[in-house]
Amino acid sequence: MLDIYKDVTIMKNLPLTIESICAYDDYIIVGTKQGHLLMYKFEIRRNSLNEIKPEIHLLRSNKAFAKKPIVQIEAVPDLRILVSLSDTVISVHNLDQMTFPLMTCVSKSKGSSLFVLDVQRQRTLTGENQCTLRMCSVNRYHLQLYYWKNQEFHELSADLKVPDIPKSIAWSGGQSLCVGFRSEYSLIKISNGEHKELFPTGEKPEPSVILLDNNRLALGRDQKTYIMNSEGSPILNYPLQWSDSPICLVNDQPYLVAILPNNIVELLTIEPKLQIQRMDLSGKISSRIKLLVKCIHRSGHILLASGSDVLCLVQSSHEQQIIQLMGEHHFELALQVADMWTDSNNGSGSNQLAPSSAVNNKEQMMQRIKNMHAFDLFCKKQFKEALSLFLKLETDPPQVIGLFPDLLPEDYRNKLDYPSKPPQLLGTDLETGLFCLIDYLLEVRRNLANNSNSGVHYNTVVVGVGDDNTNTSSSSSETTGSPSLKAKYQLKSIIDTTLLKCYLQTNEALVAPLLRLPDNHCHLEEVEKALKRYHKYNELIILYQNKGLHRNALDLLFKQSKKPDSPLAGFKRTVQYLQHLTAEHLDLIFEYSEWVLKQYPEEGIKIFTDDAVVDMELLPRQEVVQYLQKVDDNLLVPYLEHLIFQWMDTTPGFHNALIHKYRERVRILLADYKNNLMDKQSMESTSDGTSISSTTPAAMVGAGEEPGELGELRRKLLKFLEDSDHYSTETLPTYLLNDGLFEERAVVMGKIGNHKEALVIYVHVLHDTRRAEQYCQRQYDKGLPENKNVFLTLLDLYLSIPPRLQSGKDLDTGSTVMATTINPALTNLEANVQSAIQLLTRHSTKIDPLRVIKLLPPDIPVVAVEEFLHLTTDHLLRARHSGQIFRNLLLAKRLQVHKQRIRLEQLSKLVVDEVDLCQVCHKRIGKSVFVRFTNRDLVHLMCKEKYNNNYNL
């Protein structure tokens, strides 16, 4: 057990019965059962023998403070108020005046049995300290919420109804209340009153809810205390265990202090979970301790009160606490205490921590503790924690590596100084330690790589741990300044070599991640020999790759690819390697990819098209195209498709090349398809005695609907011709016409805006009015001005025979259109008129009605186009009405803006009368020329410069 707190008697045998108590700074306020309020000033002094002597005297009192016992009092020194509960009513009193005069009484709180305050302190943007106060009072089955403003409490929200009378309560995170009922704990949201049940309370004593730092909660259940977050979830996997059920509990960071039955005081810590101190105060206080409170704004002081006595528990100085904690090897707790240490705590006893060199500040104290903690953790074989701490301390890596056997040369390791002999590591302990060392060394590598940015430098720190006596000792050897480049390189070499040794002792598969690091400093020849000795060819490839020895790697891959038992057998590793080479190694890529492309073409093309590798996209594409064309012309199509569809290449040459590759293949497949159909029809006609007069098989289907590869390829070609805007259309229509690819030619005609030519193909060559209308719809939906009359063009084709078909010549290219492809039935005027009427009905709003009337033959009855006329008339009327409505809305908006402008002009006008004075000379403005500033100050024009100088404008 440690001796952290000393008990000091403040008041003894007070003639009044203490009912409540609070403390802040150097003041104690006592509320009595008789309704008296007493205020004391106290001071704890230490003499030369480190003995604690209190000084206390009564400052002021009010015998008529309350008519009934003062059940609860809370001071808010930031607002200079005192909140009290007496006779079931909450009152607020002035903290500064002599008799604590009443400021306000919360009348609604009548019937309250308990209240809890929420004091929030924050710094505003202007640098001022601001304090906000909220209060929750327990009024039987209701929770009343208030906030403090303008010297009184206002209702924050509607009352929250609860199923039972709360016995203990605390604010949780500012948005919830943690309530301890007789049978359970609950978390209640103040916004909507939603309840979240936590867990049942114990058998005894009353439920206890204590607010800790960082919005944590301590909930008591019999002899256990559970630590929860503001959401009601457990923070720790274990409860804190007391030796008996606590009566009162208070948090004095980093300790939890509890009053147990029989006036026993016990101290625990949360993290780490430790039992610190146990004090028996039964001989120092006359009756049972019933109150336990902290002193606001004064850590390390806790007040205990019985009915007539008041004691104060005073913490030892932080320095003495650290000495005790380190002597018991409680380094984590010592760090927490040191973190709260201020310069005022630096006493004359600091040399007890480090006799060899005095500790003069908080940083050095914490550094000492961490050093000793790290070595102590290692000796306890807590390798991960120890190495993490060594890393934070920036301890020299060889000093850490020397803790492990056989990783440093023996003569070098013998020169290292440690507080005591490091433990001998064998078997499982050694393996566990090496794994932790690997993580440590990898982090050191990253720190060294970022040294120029982060400022990290490593010091040779030798820590010392003391014996079992109170005093502890440590020694250190530190190097200041940044290391030289040579020393830095040597350090990196030691790190990487050690890593390689660790990997070979633990798991050989971990060698590869080290060698993949581009900045590894492994010695090339030594590592190459070691890898060959262990037949680690895959790791050897990684080494070559990172060192830039690509030809060595590719030669090894080619040789190993022919060995079935080799881990590098086959083509996959070669493909992966070539994919990661850049354009500067293009000759190597072409040289070593040829054997893969010839033996495995489908996989070999991935050398140039893998999206997962960024460098492939940066290769010179024209050179790759020429190379693939030389190796195998069939590889060109998948590469061009990847360029255009995946990498969005817009080079016209690549688009033209892909179209011609598609066209050539489609031409061959189409010829075979036609021949097969002709043969099939010939066999059928021979069997039934009929003859075939047409040169086009009747069983042919539309473009892209053919079976197999032909249909798939034509669909690709049609979509590409439609979507791409980067191919040349100068000679392409001629190629397509010569190949008999009429639909493809129609798409190209549409791309260049020759809609009439495209529609002629659909209507008079392919005899497909459905696709003709689909074509018109696609062009119309693009919203281009030149496509506005595309439906009118189709109507014109329906109602007249184009001259180009009468002559049988293509107007653009002069090539002959096969007469056998023209269906004479479609040239019948009556059939065309019916198609035209159907077109007008389906697309009435997309065709100019006046131009339609001019195109329609005069002998068409009106009743035939009656529906068209109705639809187009309704459309025009709706458009006209919409325009009128929009115009009127714009006019109304204009009037509103004009009205607002007039109002703003009137607001900004300025009237100068006889009482308006110049802010500089204080004479009337009158009819003089003046200047008006943005803050509405009026100044004579002659006084403007003086005003600017005075106000630094």
- Judging by DSSP bridges, how do beta strands 18-24 and 291-296 pair with one another? parallel
Residue 134 lies in a domain: yes
Report if residue 523 sits inside a domain.
Answer: no
pLDDT of res. 475: 32
Residue 525 lies in a domain: no
Which pLDDT value is given to residue 115? 96
Supply the mean pLDDT for the chain: 83
Residues 753 and 849 in one domain: yes
Q: Which helix (H) or strand (E) holds 440?
A: helix 427-449
> Same domain, yes or no, for 739 and 781?
yes
pLDDT at res. 457: 60
Q: How far apart are CA 441 and CA 449, in angstroms?
A: 12
pLDDT score of 835: 77
What's the average pLDDT block by block, 10 residues per block, for the chain (953 residues)?
86 91 94 94 78 87 93 94 95 93 94 94 84 94 95 93 94 90 93 91 85 91 92 90 92 92 92 90 87 91 92 89 87 87 46 38 82 89 92 89 85 82 90 93 86 54 34 33 70 87 86 83 78 85 88 91 88 90 90 91 88 78 90 89 89 89 86 82 64 50 81 88 84 77 84 83 80 85 81 80 43 37 47 76 80 77 77 86 93 93 81 89 91 88 89 63
CA distance 895 to 606: 67
Sheet with 195-200, strands from edge to edge, namely 168-172, 176-180, 184-189, 195-200
Domain end: 860, 895, 921, which one?
Answer: 860
**Full-model pTM:** 0.53
Spatial distance between the Cα atoms of 27 and 296, rounded to a whole number of angstroms: 9
In a domain, 669, yes or no: no
Residue 270 structure tokens: 């949360």
Q: Are residues 223 and 363 in the same domain?
A: no
Together in a domain, 302 and 364: no
474 and 339 in one domain?
yes
In this predicted structure, what is the pLDDT of residue 354? 38
69 lies in the same domain as 149? yes
Kindly give, in sequence order, each residue whose CB lies less than 8 Å from that of residue 121, ignoring residues fewer than 6 positions away. 78, 129, 130, 131
352 falls within a domain:
no
Residues 137 and 57 in one domain: yes
The reply to whether 620 and 499 lie within a common domain is: no
For residues 839 and 881, membership in a common domain is answered with no
Residue 800 lies in a domain: yes
Cis peptide before 423 (omega within 30 of 0): no
* Domain's final residue, options 646, 668, 683: 646
3-state SS class at 610: coil
Distance CA(803)–CA(840), nearest Å, equals: 23
pLDDT at 367: 83
What's the pLDDT at 953? Answer: 54
**Nearest to residue 361, comparing CAs of 404, 311, 407, 318?**
318
Question: What does the DSSP assignment read for 195-257?
Answer: EEEEEE--SSS---EEE-GGG-EEEEETTEEEEE-TTS-BSSSS-EE-SS--SEEEEETTEEE
Q: What residues make up the domain containing 604?
A: 548-646
Number of domains in the chain: 6
Q: Is residue 805 part of a domain?
A: yes
Element (H, E) at 266: strand 264-269
Contacts of 411 (CB under 8 A, 6+ apart): none
Task: Say whether both 793 and 922 belong to one domain.
Answer: no
Give residue 284's pLDDT: 85
Q: Which residues neighbour 194 within 8 Å (Cβ) at sequence distance 6 or greater? A: 188
- Of 646, 666, 686, the one marking the end of a domain is 646
Q: Do 832 and 876 share a domain, yes or no? A: no
* Beta carbons of 578 and 606 less than 8 angstroms apart: no
Residues 311 and 430 in one domain: no
Look at residue 867 and tell me if it is in a domain.
Answer: no
Q: What is the pLDDT of residue 163?
A: 92
- Residue 120 sits in a domain whose CATH number is 2.130.10.10
